[in-house]
Structure 1
Amino acid sequence: MTKTNSGRFFEDYRIGEVIRHAVPRTVSGGERALYHALYPARHALYSSDAFAQTCGLDAAPIDDLAAFHVVFGKTVPDVSLNAVANLGYAEGRWLKPVWPGDTLRSESKVIGLKENSNGKSGVVWVQTTGYNQHDEPVLDYIRWVMVRKNRLDADAADTLIPELKPALEASDLVIPEGLDFGQYDFTLAGERHRWGDYEIGEKIDHVDGVTIEEAEHMSATRLWQNTAKVHFDATNREDGKRLIYGGHVISMARALSFNGLANAQMIVGLNGGAHANPCFAGDTVRAWSEVLDKAQTDAPGVGAVRLRLVATKDAHYDFALKGENGKYLSHVLLDLDYWALMPT
C-alpha cells in the first residue's frame, strides 16, 4: 500500500465535496515578525498594540494577509498541489480579526468544475473557510485553480461554473467589533490622507519597488506551509524556474501601497483577483492603485474604500493594464480588487 500522497488531480473532485484540510496552525507574534521581515509592511494597526487600542481593539491583530496565507496554505495539498496555475479569487471576506495565540484550520467545498478542451487539465472552484480554535469563521473566499489530470482517459466531470458576484457590496463587509477611528492618530499612522481625500477614479503610483529574491520567496512559501510543487521544485517546469507564490506578490504589492495608502488600515473584502503573468526571482515588483468606490460604515469614524491594486514588474508603465485585445500586458503581475477600512 502506497504511504505517500501524490495529491489530487482534476478527476478526483466532485461537486459538493467538503474537504477538511490537515495540520491546524497556531499563530503567534513570530508570524507577525516574519511577515514584516519578508515585506515592507508597516500599517500602524498591525504594528502597534497601543495604536490598535486607540482604535478600539484589544491589541494589534495578525496582518490580514498573513491570516489569509495561513488559511490558504492549509488548502494547497488538497486543492493545488498539482496545479498548473492559480487563476483567481472572489467573494472574500475577513470575518474576525486573528490574534496571536489563535489556532487556524481550513475547510473547502467544491462548488465548480470544468474540464479544459485539451483533456489534460480542468478548472476547480472551491469555497474555503478559515476557522479559529472556537470554530468561529475568521475568513472565507472563493478561488479557482487549473489542475492537471492524472488519467487522461478519465471521464470528464459534469460541468458546473458557479455564478460569482462581480464585487461585494459595502453591506457585505464585516467591521471588527469595537473598531473606532474617532481618536485616530494620523501622525503615528504615517500619512494625513483620510477617506474624504480620495476620489473615485483616482490613481496612485506607489513609487517604490522591491526586487524578488529566491531566499525570501522560499522562506515565505515555507512559512505558510504552501507545498505547491511549482514553488519548490525547479524541475517541475520546463524553464527550470521556481514560480513565485502568488500570495508573495500580493503581500509585496500591499506593503508597497503604504506610500499613498498608509491609512487603508484593514482589508475586509476581496472582490476579485488575477495573477496575470508569472513572477520569478530577479523581477522587481512595483505597484499602483485605483480608487474604485467608497462607502460609509456604521462604525465611528470608519469609511470603506474599494481599491484596485496592480503589481507590475521592473519599470513603471503609466498605469497601463490591458492591451487592445483585452488581455493583460506582459508586465502586469497582479490585478487585485479589495475593500479596506480607512478613517473618515
Structure 2
Amino acid sequence: MTKTNAGRFFEDYAVGDVIHHAVPRTISGGERALYHALYPARHALYSSDEFARNCGLPAAPIDDLAAFHIVFGKTVPDISLNAVANLGYAEGRFTQPVYPGDTLRSVSRVIGVKQNSNGKTGVVWVRTQGLNQRDEIVLEYVRWVMVRKNNLDAPAPETVIPDLAQSVAASDLAIPDGMTFEDYDFALAGESHRWGDYQIGEQIDHVDGVTIEEAEHMMATRLWQNTAKVHFDATFRPDGQRLIYGGHVISVARALSFNGLANAQMIAGLNAGAHANPCFSGDTIKAWSEVLDKAETSAPGVGAIRLRLVATKGAPFELKGGDGKYNPDVLLDLDYWALMPV
C-alpha cells in the first residue's frame, strides 16, 4: 500500500468537494520578522504595536499577505501540487486581523472545473477560507489553477465555470472592530498623502526595484509550507528553471508600493489578480499602481481605496499590447482594496 501523497490530478476534483487541509499553524512574531526580512515591508500598522493601538487595534497584526500566504500554503498539497500554473483570484475578503498567538487552518470547496482542449490539463476553481482557533473566518478568496491530468483517458467532467463578481463591493469590506484613523500619525507612517490626495485614474511609479534571488524565494515558499513541485524541483519544468511562487511576487510588489502608498495600511479586499507571465530567479521586479476607485467607510477617519498593483520587469504604466494581451515584462496584475486615513 502506497503511503506517500502524489497529489490530486485534474480528474480527482468534482464540483462540491469540500477539502479540509492539513497542518494548522499557530502564528508567532517569527512570521512577522521573517516576512519583513524577505520583503521590504514597512507599513507602520504591521510594524508597531503602539502605532496599531493608536489606530484602535489591540496590537500590530501580522501583515495581511503573510496571513494570506499561510492560508494559501496549506491548500497546495490538495489543490495545486500538480498545477501547471496558478491563474487568478477573485472575491477575496480579509475579514479580521490575525495576531501572534492565533492558529490558522484552511478549508476549500471546489466550485468549478473545465478540461482544456488538449485533454492533458484542466482548470479547477476553489473557494478557500482561512479560519482561526475560534472557527472565525479571517480571510476567504476564490482562485483557479491549471492542473495536469494523470490518466489521459479519464473522461472530461461536465464543465462548470463559476459566476464570479468583478469586484468586492466597498460595502462588503470588513473594517476591524474599533479601527479609527482619527489620530493617525502621518510622520510615523512615513508619508503625508491621505485618501483625499489620490484621484481616480492617477498612476504612481513606485520607483524602487528588487532582484529575485533563488534562495530567498525558496525560503519564503517553505515558510508558507507551499509544497508545489514547480517551485523546488528543477527537473519538473522542461526549461530546468524553478518557477517563483506568485505570492512571492505579490508581496515584493506590495512592499515596493510603500513608496507612494505608505498610508494604504491594511488590505481589505482582493478583487482580481493574474500572474501574467512567469517569474524566475534573476528577474528584477519593479511596481506601479493605478487608483481605480475610492469609497467612504463607516469607521472614523477610514477610507477605502481600490488599487491596481502591477509588478513588471519593464517600464511603468505599460500593461497590455494592442492585441489585449499582457506585455511580456508584466508579471502581476492585482486589483485590491486597502484602508487609508481620510
Match of 1:44 in 2: 44
% identical aligned pairs: 79
Amino acid at match of 1:283: D
Q: What displacement does 1:318 show? A: 3.6
Q: Does 1:205 align with 2:205?
A: yes
Structure 1 runs of 4+ off > 3 angstroms?
none
Aligned to 1:115: 115
For residue 147 of structure 1, what is the amino acid of its counterpart? V
Q: Deviations over 1:88-117 (max 9, x none)?
A: 000000011000010000000000000000
In the alignment, which residue of structure 1 is the partner of 2:244? 244
The residue type equivalent to 1:312 in the other structure is T
2:311 is matched with 311
Change (3 A) 1:40 1:318: closer
Which residue does the alignment assign to 1:333?
A: 331
Name stretches of at least 5 consecutive residues in structure 1 with no aligned partner.
none
* Distance of 2:113 and 2:208 partners within structure 1: 40
- Mapping 1:142-291, distance limit 5 Å: 142-291=142-291
Aligned to 2:341: 343
Give me the whole-angstrom Cα distance separating, in 2, the residues matched to 1:172 and 1:321.
29
For 1:331, give the aligned amino acid: D
Counterpart AA for 1:326: G
- Verify: 1:55 aligned to 2:42, yes or no: no
CA shift, 1:79, in A, is: 0.2
Match of 1:78, SS state, is: helix
> What is the aligned partner in structure 1 of residue 23 from structure 2?
23
Aligned to 2:35: 35
The offset of 1:158, in angstroms, is 1.0
Q: Which secondary structure state, in structure 1, belongs to the residue aligned with residue 109 of structure 2?
A: strand
Q: Report the aligned-residue RMSD.
A: 0.4
**SS where residue 106 of structure 1 aligns?**
strand
Distance 2:332 2:93 in 1: 19
Secondary structure at the residue paired with 1:322? coil
Aligned pair partner of 1:323 in 321, 324, 333: 321
1:128 counterpart SS class: strand
Q: In the aligned structure 2, how far is the partner of 1:178 from the partner of 1:224?
A: 29
> How far is the alpha carbon of 1:294 from its aligned partner?
0.1
Aligned partner of residue 67 in structure 2, secondary structure: helix
The equivalences for 1:66-77 within 5 A come to 66-77=66-77
**Helix, strand or coil: the match of 1:288?**
strand
User: What SS does structure 2 have at the residue aligned with 1:36?
Assistant: helix
Aligned residues: 342
Verify the 8 A CA contact 2:287 2:316 in the aligned structure 1. no
Distance in 2 of aligned mates of 1:169 and 1:204:
24
Rounded to whole Å, the distance in 2 between the matches of 1:15 and 1:291 is 36
Return the alpha-carbon distance in structure 2 between the equivalents of residues 318 and 169 of structure 1.
28
SS in structure 2 of the partner of residue 92 of structure 1: strand
Alignment pair present for 1:95 and 2:95: yes
